[in-house]
Amino acid sequence: MKARGVLLQLLGGAKNSGALRRWINFWPPFVGAGIRVKHIAPDMKAVDVEMKLRGWNSNYVGAQFGGSLFAMTDPFYMLMLMANLGPDYIVWDKAATIRYKKPGKGTVRAEFRLSDSQIEDIREKLKTLPKYEPVFTVEVKDEQDVVVAEVEKLLHVRKKEDQIP
Protein backbone atom coordinates (compact mmCIF):
# COMPACT_ATOMS: atom_id res chain seq x y z
CA MET A 1 0.00 0.00 0.00
CA LYS A 2 1.23 3.49 -0.81
CA ALA A 3 1.74 5.92 2.03
CA ARG A 4 -1.24 8.28 2.20
CA GLY A 5 -0.84 10.10 5.50
CA VAL A 6 -2.57 13.40 6.04
CA LEU A 7 0.64 15.39 6.23
CA LEU A 8 2.06 13.72 3.16
CA GLN A 9 -1.11 14.45 1.21
CA LEU A 10 -0.97 18.10 2.24
CA LEU A 11 2.64 18.29 1.12
CA GLY A 12 2.19 16.64 -2.26
CA GLY A 13 1.98 12.91 -1.57
CA ALA A 14 4.35 10.10 -0.74
CA LYS A 15 6.93 11.23 -3.28
CA ASN A 16 7.43 14.42 -1.31
CA SER A 17 8.80 13.11 1.98
CA GLY A 18 11.55 15.75 1.64
CA ALA A 19 8.92 18.48 1.96
CA LEU A 20 7.54 16.77 5.07
CA ARG A 21 11.07 16.63 6.52
CA ARG A 22 11.60 20.33 5.91
CA TRP A 23 8.19 21.18 7.40
CA ILE A 24 8.86 19.16 10.56
CA ASN A 25 12.27 20.79 10.91
CA PHE A 26 10.52 24.17 11.20
CA TRP A 27 8.09 22.94 13.86
CA PRO A 28 8.74 25.26 16.85
CA PRO A 29 9.22 22.55 19.55
CA PHE A 30 11.91 20.90 17.40
CA VAL A 31 13.59 24.18 16.46
CA GLY A 32 13.72 25.21 20.11
CA ALA A 33 15.29 21.92 21.20
CA GLY A 34 17.69 21.75 18.26
CA ILE A 35 16.11 18.55 16.91
CA ARG A 36 16.61 17.88 13.19
CA VAL A 37 14.97 15.27 11.00
CA LYS A 38 17.78 14.11 8.72
CA HIS A 39 15.85 11.63 6.55
CA ILE A 40 12.32 10.44 5.88
CA ALA A 41 11.95 7.54 3.47
CA PRO A 42 9.41 8.11 0.68
CA ASP A 43 7.38 5.11 1.97
CA MET A 44 7.40 6.52 5.53
CA LYS A 45 8.94 3.33 6.92
CA ALA A 46 12.21 4.94 8.03
CA VAL A 47 12.91 8.24 9.80
CA ASP A 48 16.29 9.42 11.13
CA VAL A 49 16.50 12.22 13.70
CA GLU A 50 19.47 13.89 15.39
CA MET A 51 20.12 16.53 18.01
CA LYS A 52 23.41 18.32 18.59
CA LEU A 53 24.33 19.32 22.13
CA ARG A 54 23.88 23.06 22.49
CA GLY A 55 23.70 25.47 25.40
CA TRP A 56 19.93 25.67 25.13
CA ASN A 57 19.34 21.88 25.19
CA SER A 58 21.85 20.85 27.83
CA ASN A 59 21.10 20.20 31.48
CA TYR A 60 22.94 21.49 34.53
CA VAL A 61 25.74 18.90 34.18
CA GLY A 62 26.38 19.61 30.49
CA ALA A 63 24.62 16.58 29.02
CA GLN A 64 21.58 16.44 26.74
CA PHE A 65 18.43 17.60 28.55
CA GLY A 66 16.16 14.59 29.16
CA GLY A 67 13.07 16.38 27.91
CA SER A 68 14.77 17.07 24.59
CA LEU A 69 15.83 13.42 24.29
CA PHE A 70 12.22 12.45 24.90
CA ALA A 71 10.88 15.06 22.45
CA MET A 72 13.09 13.82 19.61
CA THR A 73 11.23 10.50 19.72
CA ASP A 74 7.70 11.86 20.06
CA PRO A 75 5.66 11.92 16.84
CA PHE A 76 7.41 9.57 14.45
CA TYR A 77 5.87 6.14 14.98
CA MET A 78 2.42 7.74 14.99
CA LEU A 79 3.11 9.57 11.71
CA MET A 80 4.68 6.49 10.14
CA LEU A 81 1.69 4.31 11.02
CA MET A 82 -0.80 6.94 9.86
CA ALA A 83 0.92 7.10 6.49
CA ASN A 84 1.22 3.34 6.07
CA LEU A 85 -2.16 2.23 7.38
CA GLY A 86 -4.02 4.88 5.42
CA PRO A 87 -7.10 7.02 6.03
CA ASP A 88 -9.32 4.17 7.29
CA TYR A 89 -7.39 3.97 10.58
CA ILE A 90 -7.06 6.21 13.61
CA VAL A 91 -3.62 6.30 15.22
CA TRP A 92 -2.74 8.07 18.48
CA ASP A 93 0.23 8.13 20.78
CA LYS A 94 -1.10 6.76 24.06
CA ALA A 95 1.89 6.50 26.40
CA ALA A 96 5.65 6.57 26.44
CA THR A 97 8.46 5.80 28.84
CA ILE A 98 12.10 6.72 28.67
CA ARG A 99 15.02 4.98 30.34
CA TYR A 100 18.22 6.99 30.52
CA LYS A 101 21.26 4.76 30.11
CA LYS A 102 24.18 7.20 29.86
CA PRO A 103 24.61 10.98 29.61
CA GLY A 104 24.43 12.24 26.04
CA LYS A 105 27.48 14.46 25.68
CA GLY A 106 27.47 15.26 21.95
CA THR A 107 25.24 14.71 18.95
CA VAL A 108 22.62 12.03 19.53
CA ARG A 109 20.42 10.27 16.99
CA ALA A 110 17.40 8.01 16.78
CA GLU A 111 16.43 5.73 13.90
CA PHE A 112 12.78 4.78 13.53
CA ARG A 113 11.97 1.72 11.43
CA LEU A 114 8.61 0.20 10.53
CA SER A 115 8.48 -3.15 8.74
CA ASP A 116 5.87 -4.56 6.40
CA SER A 117 5.31 -7.39 8.89
CA GLN A 118 4.56 -4.90 11.70
CA ILE A 119 2.02 -3.10 9.51
CA GLU A 120 0.41 -6.38 8.43
CA ASP A 121 0.28 -7.59 12.05
CA ILE A 122 -1.66 -4.47 13.05
CA ARG A 123 -4.09 -4.91 10.15
CA GLU A 124 -4.62 -8.57 11.06
CA LYS A 125 -5.22 -7.85 14.74
CA LEU A 126 -7.78 -5.17 13.88
CA LYS A 127 -9.80 -7.67 11.87
CA THR A 128 -10.92 -9.23 15.16
CA LEU A 129 -10.20 -6.57 17.80
CA PRO A 130 -11.89 -3.17 18.20
CA LYS A 131 -8.51 -1.59 18.97
CA TYR A 132 -4.90 -2.60 19.13
CA GLU A 133 -2.09 -0.99 21.11
CA PRO A 134 1.29 -1.91 19.64
CA VAL A 135 4.52 -1.04 21.43
CA PHE A 136 7.55 0.30 19.58
CA THR A 137 11.03 0.81 21.01
CA VAL A 138 13.61 3.27 19.77
CA GLU A 139 17.15 3.77 21.03
CA VAL A 140 18.80 7.18 21.21
CA LYS A 141 22.52 6.74 20.51
CA ASP A 142 25.56 8.96 20.75
CA GLU A 143 28.33 9.48 18.19
CA GLN A 144 30.09 6.30 19.35
CA ASP A 145 26.88 4.30 18.76
CA VAL A 146 26.37 3.87 22.53
CA VAL A 147 22.76 3.89 23.73
CA VAL A 148 22.10 6.94 25.91
CA ALA A 149 18.33 6.42 26.23
CA GLU A 150 15.69 3.87 25.32
CA VAL A 151 12.15 5.03 24.60
CA GLU A 152 9.12 2.77 24.53
CA LYS A 153 6.07 4.12 22.68
CA LEU A 154 2.56 2.72 23.17
CA LEU A 155 0.23 3.60 20.30
CA HIS A 156 -3.53 3.26 20.02
CA VAL A 157 -4.82 2.06 16.65
CA ARG A 158 -8.39 1.37 15.53
CA LYS A 159 -10.40 1.35 12.34
CA LYS A 160 -12.40 4.52 11.75
CA GLU A 161 -15.75 2.76 11.64
CA ASP A 162 -15.02 1.41 15.13
CA GLN A 163 -14.71 4.93 16.54
CA ILE A 164 -17.09 5.74 19.36
CA PRO A 165 -19.27 8.76 18.36
Q: List, for residues 12-49, the tens digit of each pLDDT value.
A: 455 567 777 888 888 888 888 899 999 999 999 999 99
pTM of the model: 0.85
Annotate 27-64 with b (16+ C-beta within 10 A) or e (fewer).
eeebeebbbbbeebbbbbbbbbbbbebeeebbeeeebb
Length of the chain in terms of residues written: 165
**What are 53-105's pLDDT values in tens digits?**
998 889 999 999 999 999 999 989 999 999 999 999 999 999 999 999 999 99
- Domains of the chain (ranges plus CATH)? 6-162 (3.10.129.10)
Q: Is 136 exposed, middle or buried (0-12, 13-18, 19+ CB in 10 A)?
A: buried
Backbone angles phi, psi at 7, to 5 degrees: -65, -40
Neighbours of 23 (CB within 10 A): 14
The DSSP 8-state label assigned to residue 4 in this structure reads -
